[in-house]
């Protein structure tokens, strides 16, 4: 085991938890696992380094409530939320509550490892975070009004059909705009796109824009 910072995996599904532990150990990343948010919160006050990977849907304390409790306890470990396809709105809520990223199931192993390493690197890098925000704002400024509207719908967790209905355009047209947004923003996945928008508070900004 290396001396890298530890990733704390929280999932009530034994198989999912063990699979993630194997992935991180295979990549020489120190890992600890917990069957519930309660189990993690029992040891969380003594932790000052590393990151958290948690499922968003868990009994008793879910991923959203976990984020709230971590904030209340002033525990600032970066949190990556795992979500199913139907839980995108929950994932967006999690990021608004402080999560740094979310991974949609089924996720690619390499994408998860990149997310964790990025979370590690994110700790204590205030200047780099400022540079990231500036770069994201520049990309947002290059979007057309319609592209901004589509992005707003995505950040809100809406499906293409809902966005199409709200904007009075076809779902196929939404798909085209969505592809343009992904390209202009340099995002390789929906989770990365949503994270970018939330990093700079774009969801709130869009509400004030003209259509």
Domains of the chain: residue spans and CATH: 7-122 (3.40.50.2300), 126-206 (1.10.10.10)
Please tell me the predicted confidence (pLDDT) of residue 202.
Answer: 53
Tokens 């966005």, residue located: 163
Please tell me the predicted confidence (pLDDT) of residue 210.
Answer: 36
More confident residue, 185 or 133: 185
- Output the six-digit token pair for 8: 């704390």
Please tell me the predicted confidence (pLDDT) of residue 208.
Answer: 37
Mean predicted confidence (pLDDT) in 92-107: 84
Rounded to two decimals, the pTM is 0.67
Confidence of residue 86 (pLDDT cuts 50, 70, 90): low
More confident residue, 130 or 120: 120
Mean predicted confidence (pLDDT) in 83-103: 79
Q: Does an H or E element contain 64, and which?
A: helix 63-72
Using CA atoms, how far apart are residues 51 and 53, in angstroms rounded to an integer?
Answer: 7
Q: How many C-beta atoms lie closer than 10 Å to residue 201's C-beta?
A: 12
Please tell me the predicted confidence (pLDDT) of residue 211.
Answer: 38
Condensed to tens digits (0 to 9), the pLDDT of residues 162-179 reads: 999 999 999 999 999 999
Please tell me the predicted confidence (pLDDT) of residue 207.
Answer: 37
Residue 200 predicted with pLDDT over 80: no
Mean predicted confidence (pLDDT) in 146-151: 94
Distance in Å from the first CA to the final CA of the chain: 53
């Amino acid at each position: 085991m290396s001396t890298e910072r530890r990733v704390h995996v929280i999932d009530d599904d034994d198989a999912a938890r063990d699979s993630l532990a194997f992935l991180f150990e295979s990549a020489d990343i120190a890992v600890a696992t917990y069957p519930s948010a309660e189990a993690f919160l029992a040891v969380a006050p003594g932790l000052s380094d590393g990151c958290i990977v948690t499922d968003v849907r868990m009994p008793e304390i879910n991923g959203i409530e976990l984020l709230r409790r971590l904030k209340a306890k002033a525990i600032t470990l970066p949190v990556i939320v795992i979500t199913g396809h139907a839980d995108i709105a929950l994932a967006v809520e999690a990021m608004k509550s402080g999560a740094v990223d979310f991974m949609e199931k089924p996720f690619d192993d390499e994408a998860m490892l990149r997310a964790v390493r990025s979370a590690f690197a994110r700790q204590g890098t205030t200047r780099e975070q400022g540079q990231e925000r500036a770069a994201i704002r520049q990309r947002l400024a290059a979007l057309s009004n319609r592209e901004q509207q589509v992005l707003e719908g995505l950040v809100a967790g809406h499906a293409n059909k809902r966005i199409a209905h709200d904007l009075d355009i076809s779902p196929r047209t939404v798909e085209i705009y969505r592809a343009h947004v992904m390209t202009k923003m340099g995002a390789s996945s929906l989770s990365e796109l949503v994270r970018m928008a939330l990093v700079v508070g774009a969801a709130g900004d869009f509400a004030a824009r003209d259509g």
